Chains A and B, each alone.
Chain A
Amino acid sequence: MDALVADRIRGELSANDVVLFMKGTPVFPQCGFSAQAVQILTMLEVPFKGIDVLADPSLRQGIKDFSNWPTIPQLYIKGEFIGGCDIMREMFQSGELQKAMSDKGVAAHG
C-alpha cells in the first residue's frame, strides 16, 4: 500500500486513543453502519476521532489494506484494531467494549 497513506494512518492512531474510520463525519454519517458505530461510541461517552474515508479515496482503500479488513467502519483503540460495526455492537452489548476501553486506560461510561 501507499507508504504516505500508511504513515498518515499510523500518525492518527498514535495521536488519538480512539479512532473510528468511517463514511461521513460523526455529526453527518453517510452510511447506516458508520452511524451505528458513532452511536455506540456516543453512548459510551468516549472521546474519539472520526476520520471520513470518503474525503480521501486513497485512505478509503488504504485503511482496508492497513487493517486487512474489507469494510468500513473500523474501530481502533490505542492503535489496536477492534473490529467493524457488528463486532462493536456485540462487544458493546456484552460489556466487552467498555472493558476493552478501560483495560487500555480510556475512560468510558455505559
Chain B
Amino acid sequence: MKSPTYAQRIEQKLTAALAPSLLIVEDQSARHSGHSGSRPEGETHFAVTIVSAQFIGKSRIEQHRMIHNILAEELNEHVHALALTCRLP
C-alpha cells in the first residue's frame, strides 16, 4: 500500500483532532521550488485554512501551537513551511 502523502496526513490529523467545519490544505511547494527547505519530491510548503470550534477562547498563538503540536511529526520530518489561517465558526 502506498504511504499517505503529507497533504493527506495533515488533513487526516487535523480532521481527527480539531473536527473542523472547514479545512483547506494547499500544497504550495511548487511556488517555493529552489528556496531553502524545498525538496525535489515536493510537499515542503503548505498553507492551511481551518475553521474549528476548538479555537474558541484561544489566543492566536495558542491556536497555532495546537496545530504545531498536532503536526509535530510532519514539521519535524519534512514540512518546512506551514502558513496558517485559523478561524472560529
Query: What residues make up the interface of A, taking CB atoms closer than 8 Å to B?
Result: 23, 30-33, 54, 68-71, 81-87, 90-91
> B35 touching A86 by the CB < 8 A rule?
no
> B75 touching A87 by the CB < 8 A rule?
no
* Mask of B61-89 contacts with A, CB within 8 angstroms, 1/0: 10011001000100110000111110000
Interface residue B36 (Cβ < 8 Å from any Cβ of A): yes
Say yes or no: A87-B60 contact (C-beta < 8 A), given A33-B81, A70-B68, A70-B75. Answer: yes
Name A70's closest neighbour in chain B (CB-CB): B75
Which residues of B are found within 8 Å of A81, using beta-carbon distances? 61
The binding surface of chain B is classed by DSSP as helix
Name A85's closest neighbour in chain B (CB-CB): B83
> B60 touching A71 by the CB < 8 A rule?
no
> A84 touching B64 by the CB < 8 A rule?
yes
* Mask of B31-54 contacts with A, CB within 8 angstroms, 1/0: 010011000000000000000000
Say yes or no: A71-B81 contact (C-beta < 8 A), given A23-B36, A30-B36, A31-B36. Answer: yes
Say yes or no: A83-B36 contact (C-beta < 8 A), given A70-B75, A71-B81. Answer: no
Closest beta carbon of chain B to A33's beta carbon, Å: 7
